[in-house]
Amino acid sequence: MNTMTPEVTRESLPSILLVDDDEVLRERLATAIRARGYEVRTAGSAEEAMREATRDSPEMAVLDLRMPGGSGLEILRELRRQDPSTRVLMLTGYGSIATAVEAVREGAVGYLPKPADADEILAALNGTNTAKEKGIETPSLARAEWEHIQRVLTDCGGNISEAARRLGIHRRSLQRKLHKYPPAR
């Protein structure tokens, strides 16, 4: 037995708190990360996440940016207040430069768009694969517009008339935009 090389055990790998309101995605990621030897606790809401973090502060956390009842940024702030050494990664289906900058300013180690797999998440948390290394490209104007429309439509609960009012465009114009396929990045 070689005593020079430390053996990686379940106890030596950090614990991860995985927070996402999408139960299927959350449990799929949790299973995949557990299979890689990490201790994973899950939460489906900001309130549940804070209960878990208060019970036992995680070394790492993966947070969905947008959830009902509280944002991932609020959880990030609280986790960093409780334990500044917690490494936090933000996940979102609604990527934007403004939220990425805010997450990093608040102390997140990274920011990944959904869908992200377990290997991408662990690489980002461990600092082995940054956005600069991956060459993440700036979205086209058409893609940024489409993502913004989807975000506003989600905020309006799918109500096209309300979304059109908030966007300052005619309802029929919004309907035409919604019938198009999402633009490529």
For residues 60 and 119, membership in a common domain is answered with yes
Q: What is the pLDDT of residue 131?
A: 47
Q: What is the pLDDT of residue 155?
A: 84
For residues 83 and 154, membership in a common domain is answered with no
105 part of a folded domain: yes
Q: Which of 48-52, 94-98, 149-153 has the highest mean pLDDT?
A: 48-52
Once rounded to an integer, what is the mean pLDDT over residues 130-142?
Answer: 57
Q: What is the pLDDT of residue 96?
A: 62
- What's the domain range around 151? 141-178
For residues 92 and 171, membership in a common domain is answered with no
For residues 147 and 130, membership in a common domain is answered with no
Helices 141-155 and 160-167: crossing angle in degrees, nearest 10, is: 130
- The CATH number of residue 166's host domain is 1.10.10.60
For residues 58 and 98, membership in a common domain is answered with yes
Q: What is the pLDDT of residue 40?
A: 93
Instruction: Give residues with Cβ within 8 angstroms of 64, minimum separation 6.
Output: 19, 20, 21, 22, 72, 91, 92
pLDDT band at 95; cut points 50, 70, 90: low
Of the two residues 7 and 81, the one the predictor is more confident about is 81
Q: What is the pLDDT of residue 137?
A: 57
**Cα dist. 68→4, 18, 44, 140 in Å?**
49, 16, 9, 29
pTM of the model: 0.64
Total structural domains within the chain: 2
185 part of a folded domain: no
Q: Which of 126, 57, 119 is nearest to 85 (CA)?
A: 57
166 part of a folded domain: yes
- The CATH number of residue 96's host domain is 3.40.50.2300
In angstroms, rounded to a whole number, what is the distance separating the alpha carbons of residues 159 and 12? Answer: 49
In angstroms, rounded to a whole number, what is the distance separating the alpha carbons of residues 162 and 105? Answer: 32
Of the two residues 53 and 143, the one the predictor is more confident about is 53
Q: What is the pLDDT of residue 9?
A: 46
For residues 25 and 105, membership in a common domain is answered with yes
- pLDDT tens, position by position, 5-44: 444 444 567 899 999 888 888 899 999 999 999 999 998 8
**Stretch among 56-70, 93-107, 147-161 having the lowest mean pLDDT:** 93-107
8 part of a folded domain: no
Whether residue 141 is predicted with pLDDT greater than 50 in this model: the reply is yes
For residues 169 and 81, membership in a common domain is answered with no
184 part of a folded domain: no
* Mean pLDDT rounded to a whole number for the chain: 81
In angstroms, rounded to a whole number, what is the distance separating the alpha carbons of residues 53 and 133? Answer: 31
Percent residues over pLDDT 90 in the chain: 21
For residues 71 and 53, membership in a common domain is answered with yes
**Cα dist. 95→21, 30, 71, 112 in Å?**
17, 22, 14, 8
